[in-house]
């Protein structure tokens, strides 16, 4: 696709210089006069009754301004309903643990002190006695309903159940199948781990009854809405400001119970309160992700064509789930066929409460739709004795299938899974690798290749996420400001939206200022998540810029005594087509529009302002194919990734460097998840991986060089863009797992999911060799 003058160009990010120079302003850098620091006492017991809680010593400790418990804060809670949670019974969300504790990390008391050191000192002085009870940890025991309840108030551990539904002929399709392939695919628990932990500062003004909140969030309006409900006050009494945010990946979509406590404490105390989460809290008490499995079966005909798929999905959602996660069955079901033509589908799901840290979204929270089938494709290929690339080619949706209506009735209009499959196979020299693999095996080396396709439901635009707006204005100097409802946490929204404005308005990106992350300054929006920014914000900005351009032309036409349709714009100048000298600068038009409105023709409106609220279809589909090659050392269990290629199609790219950056980050999160990261609990519900010494993030020493190929098929929206922020993390786990499984297949090892750390790999090799012996 032809790049524009600015759209499609890999221009350097304007966010970068200040961040590089240490001039970013993150939540811990925000100074609010008079702010006190908060620290929490958290439960060290997974499930238990609070027998006694004595905070008197803490209250009189040096520098302590207040200590609050459930008795102080919980009565202030007006309501805790969060829009956007799927249907289901929800537990009463105690702000602080009341009577009992429900996971290790459950906040019990909040100490407010002169500084964080003194607050933590005082936490040590709190005397709490918790009578431990047998925790609910096993998902199967929890959902079979014969044991204890995580939340006795709601009478069930399965708050969200989708009973089995499917094609009426599904059973017949499996009965008629030449082959049936089934497996249980497991994703272990791993976490978002943004480099910046959470943080919030709340300042209640008792005189105006207004509340200002600084929050390291992905959605300022989400925070505003939740706090309005929490306090029972008007949304217009709450200003939420987002400073720079050091990554979110879904964890910062909604504020959690400890953050509510900070807001309530600030209200009660009548002075600003600041809480900066530490890493141990972030790893054990913020929110976790994954920890799910799917029982998946596919039916194939004699030619390897898949005729039906059936899945039962179970997820462990911990004790307290947050918006946009948990109950993901509803988002997995429609996409269960991923990139393949599979006519018949059946599905069921359950979300299960346990006494562990609750679940929040993490980059592709519904990723099991791809992680599951992509592993089953490889299992099927092995069972049928065909190459996994060939099996995918037989079943993948092709250009001449489009528009392709899924069994879920959603429609793929513009995707290219077959093309990305071919491009990725070419990039990695698939046949060449197979030859190398055979040669290596003869020398006793275990190499493998793994393919994973994904069609990403990007630009999620359902319910309150269906729209985004842009408000654009050019001032009397010709400079442009555009305000949007995003709350970027590193997604380059400023740079890319400057490119969109410049392209549509005819100025340079440097003349555009982008404002986001402040409810006092931006239009209402759902924030940054769901791979929405390019599609929703991008199209809103493009439309608003186009409307502003019309106003510019109307005013310039007046001044130049020409018809608007005879005018052109280039480089911040309006001129009569073919007569470059007869024109005026944006600054001239701005002067006229604001400072000399009497010189405009009657009927020409003064000012240069426009706004547009864009409604997107529920999903805008992008797609990618990942192929990973690896070598497994069967003595140590170590997996070394040899090459990693991605062919992706996100439609028209606004900035290829930004697109590739999103791919890189997502892929490495998937690699990390499969090979290194594992949030582990012991049998008593204690988290064992509470530091970065135990919870292993990938480093520069482990990650492969990632090669990216692009295919650009325009999306069915005016800008032609598709979202792609999550696809890297959605497709990568299965690519890595399939590569390891392929490497170890000659040893008879069968792999059904993750984690694939050295210990798991050595155990599987030992088990397989035991079976063979």
Partner 1 sequence: MREVALTVTVNGEQISRPVEARRTLADFLRDDLSLTGTHLGCEHGVCGACTVLLDGDAVRSCLMFAVQADGAEVTTIEGLSEGGLTPIQAAFQAEHGLQCGYCTPGFVVSAHAFLAEHPDPSDEEIREALSGNLCRCTGYQGIIAAVKRAASNGSSL
Burial class (CB in 10 A: 0-12, 13-18, 19+), 206: exposed
Which lies closer to partner 1 via its Cβ, residue 300 or residue 641? 641
DSSP single-letter state for residue 651: B
Q: How far is the CB of 207 from partner 1 (least distance, A)?
A: 29
In angstroms, rounded to a whole number, what is the distance separating the alpha carbons of residues 398 and 417?
7
Q: How far is the CB of 230 from partner 1 (least distance, A)?
A: 27
Q: Residue 689 is encoded by which pair of tokens? A: 């991986």
In angstroms, rounded to a whole number, what is the distance separating the alpha carbons of residues 194 and 726?
15
DSSP single-letter state for residue 13: P
Which lies closer to partner 1 via its Cβ, residue 216 or residue 346? 216
Q: Look at phi and psi of residue 348 and say left if phi exceeds 0, alpha if psi is from -120 to 50, else beta.
A: beta
Which lies closer to partner 1 via its Cβ, residue 466 or residue 697? 697
Q: How far is the CB of 69 from partner 1 (least distance, A)?
A: 26
Which lies closer to partner 1 via its Cβ, residue 113 or residue 379? 113
Q: How far is the CB of 488 from partner 1 (least distance, A)?
A: 9
Which lies closer to partner 1 via its Cβ, residue 6 or residue 353? 6
Confirm if 359 and 287 have CB atoms less than 8 A apart.
Answer: yes
Q: How far is the CB of 194 from partner 1 (least distance, A)?
A: 6
Which lies closer to partner 1 via its Cβ, residue 14 or residue 752? 14
500 CA to centre of own chain: 23
Confirm if 220 and 527 have CB atoms less than 8 A apart.
Answer: yes
Which lies closer to partner 1 via its Cβ, residue 24 or residue 709? 24
Bridge partners (DSSP) listed for residue 233: none
Q: How far is the CB of 15 from partner 1 (least distance, A)?
A: 7
Question: What is the full DSSP assignment across 235-291?
Answer: GGGEEEE--B----TTTTSS--HHHHHHHHHHHHHTS-EEEE--HHHIIIII-BEEE
Q: How far is the CB of 185 from partner 1 (least distance, A)?
A: 24
**Could you list the residues that contact partner 1 (CB under 8 A)?**
12-13, 15-17, 19-26, 28-29, 115, 117, 193-197, 244-247, 249, 278-279, 489-492, 657-658, 660-661, 664-669, 691-693, 697-703, 705-706
| CA trace torsion 476, 479, 483, 487 (10° rounding) | -150
Which lies closer to partner 1 via its Cβ, residue 42 or residue 47? 42
Q: How far is the CB of 246 from partner 1 (least distance, A)?
A: 3
Confirm if 426 and 356 have CB atoms less than 8 A apart.
Answer: no
Burial class (CB in 10 A: 0-12, 13-18, 19+), 543: buried
Place of tokens 């961040």: 19
Q: How far is the CB of 762 from partner 1 (least distance, A)?
A: 24
Strand-pair category, 160-166 with 107-113: unpaired
Q: How far is the CB of 588 from partner 1 (least distance, A)?
A: 33
In angstroms, rounded to a whole number, what is the distance separating the alpha carbons of residues 768 and 750?
8
Residue of 404, 462, 434 lying closest to 623 (CA atoms): 404
Q: How far is the CB of 227 from partner 1 (least distance, A)?
A: 24
Q: How far is the CB of 7 from partner 1 (least distance, A)?
A: 17
Instruction: For 285-357, list the strands marked E by DSSP.
Output: 289-300, 306-318, 344-353
Q: Look at phi and psi of residue 600 and say left if phi exceeds 0, alpha if psi is from -120 to 50, else beta.
A: beta
Q: How far is the CB of 255 from partner 1 (least distance, A)?
A: 19
For residue 228, what are the CA distances in angstroms to 98, 234, 396, 583?
A: 23, 6, 47, 51
Q: Residue 567 is encoded by which pair of tokens? A: 């005018």
Which lies closer to partner 1 via its Cβ, residue 143 or residue 363? 363
Strand-pair category, 36-42 with 273-276: parallel
Confirm if 483 and 540 have CB atoms less than 8 A apart.
Answer: no
Burial class (CB in 10 A: 0-12, 13-18, 19+), 146: exposed
Which lies closer to partner 1 via its Cβ, residue 12 or residue 441? 12
DSSP single-letter state for residue 325: S
Backbone angles phi, psi at 376, to 5 degrees: -70, -30
Which lies closer to partner 1 via its Cβ, residue 392 or residue 678? 678
DSSP single-letter state for residue 313: E
Which lies closer to partner 1 via its Cβ, residue 353 or residue 644? 644
Which lies closer to partner 1 via its Cβ, residue 195 or residue 773? 195
């Amino acid at each position: 696709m032809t790049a524009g003058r600015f759209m499609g160009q890999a221009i350097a990010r304007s966010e970068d210089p200040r961040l590089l120079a240490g001039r970013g302003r993150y939540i811990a850098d925000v100074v609010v006069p008079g702010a006190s620091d908060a620290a929490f006492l958290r439960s060290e017991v997974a499930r238990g009754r609070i027998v006694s809680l004595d905070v008197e010593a803490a209250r009189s400790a040096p520098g302590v301004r207040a200590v609050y418990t459930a008795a102080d804060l919980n009565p202030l809670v007006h309501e805790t309903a969060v829009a956007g949670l799927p249907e289901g019974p929800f537990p009463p969300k105690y702000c602080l643990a009341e009577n009992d504790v429900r996971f290790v990390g459950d906040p019990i008391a909040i100490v407010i002190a002169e500084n964080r050191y003194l607050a933590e000192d005082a936490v040590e002085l709190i005397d709490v006695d918790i009578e431990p009870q047998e925790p609910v940890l096993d998902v199967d025991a929890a959902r079979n309903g014969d044991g204890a309840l995580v939340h006795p108030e709601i009478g069930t551990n399965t708050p969200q159940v989708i009973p089995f539904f499917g094609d009426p002929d599904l059973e017949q399709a499996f009965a008629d199948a030449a082959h049936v392939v089934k497996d249980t695919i497991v994703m272990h628990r791993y976490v978002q781990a943004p480099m910046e932990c959470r943080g919030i500062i709340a300042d209640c003004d008792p005189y105006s009854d207004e509340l200002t909140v600084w929050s390291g969030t992905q959605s300022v309006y989400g925070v505003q809405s939740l706090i309005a409900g929490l306090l029972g006050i008007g949304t217009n009494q709450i200003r939420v400001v987002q400073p720079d945010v050091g990554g979110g990946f879904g964890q910062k979509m909604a504020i959690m119970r400890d953050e509510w406590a900070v807001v309530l404490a600030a209200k009660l105390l009548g002075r600003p309160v600041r809480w900066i989460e530490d890493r141990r809290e972030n790893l054990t008490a913020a929110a976790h992700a994954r920890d799910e499995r799917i029982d998946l079966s596919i039916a194939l005909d004699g030619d390897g064509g898949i005729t039906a798929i059936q899945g039962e999905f179970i997820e462990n959602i911990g004790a307290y789930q947050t918006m946009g996660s948990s109950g993901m069955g509803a988002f997995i079901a429609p996409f269960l066929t991923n990139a393949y033509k599979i006519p018949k589908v059946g599905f069921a799901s359950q979300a299960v409460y346990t006494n562990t840290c609750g679940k929040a979204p993490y980059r592709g929270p519904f990723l099991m739709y791809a992680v599951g089938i992509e592993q089953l494709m490889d299992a099927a290929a092995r069972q049928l004795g065909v190459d996994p690339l060939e099996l995918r080619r037989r079943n993948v949706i092709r250009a001449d299938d489009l528009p392709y209506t899924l069994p879920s009735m959603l429609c793929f209009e513009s995707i290219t899974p077959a093309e990305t499959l071919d491009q990725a196979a070419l990039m990695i020299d698939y046949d060449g690798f197979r030859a190398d693999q055979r040669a290596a095996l003869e020398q006793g080396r275990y190499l493998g290749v793994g393919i994973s396709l994904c069609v990403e439901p990007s630009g999620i635009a359902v319910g309150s996420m269906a729209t985004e707006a842009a408000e654009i204005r050019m001032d009397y100097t010709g400079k442009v400001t555009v305000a949007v409802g995003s709350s970027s946490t590193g997604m380059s929204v400023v740079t890319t939206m400057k490119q969109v404005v410049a392209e549509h308005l005819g100025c340079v990106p440097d003349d555009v200022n982008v404002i986001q992350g402040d409810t006092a300054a931006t239009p209402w929006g759902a924030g940054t998540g769901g791979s929405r920014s390019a599609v929703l914000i991008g199209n809103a900005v493009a439309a608003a810029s186009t409307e502003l351009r019309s106003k510019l032309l109307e005013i310039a036409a007046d001044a130049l005594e020409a018809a608007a349709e005879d005018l052109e714009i280039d480089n911040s100048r309006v001129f009569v087509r073919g007569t470059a000298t007869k024109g005026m600068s944006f600054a001239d038009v701005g002067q006229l529009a604001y400072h000399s409105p009497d010189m405009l023709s009657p009927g020409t409106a003064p000012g240069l302002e426009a706004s547009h609220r864009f409604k997107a279809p529920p999903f805008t589909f992008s797609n990618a194919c990942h192929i990973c090659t690896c070598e497994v050392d069967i003595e140590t269990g170590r997996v070394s990734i040899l090459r990693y290629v991605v062919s992706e199609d996100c439609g028209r790219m606004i900035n290829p460097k930004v697109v590739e950056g999103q791919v890189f980050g997502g892929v490495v999160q998937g690699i990390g998840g499969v090979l290194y990261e594992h949030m582990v609990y012991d049998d008593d519900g204690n988290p064992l991986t509470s530091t970065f010494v135990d919870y292993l993030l990938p480093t520069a020493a482990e990650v492969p060089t990632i090669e990216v190929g692009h295919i650009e098929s325009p999306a069915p929206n005016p800008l032609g863009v598709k979202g792609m922020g999550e696809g890297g993390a959605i497709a990568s786990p299965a690519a890595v797992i399939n590569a390891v499984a392929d490497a170890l297949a000659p040893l008879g090892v069968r792999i059904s999911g993750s984690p694939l750390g050295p210990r798991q790999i050595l155990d599987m090799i030992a088990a397989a060799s035991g079976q063979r012996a």
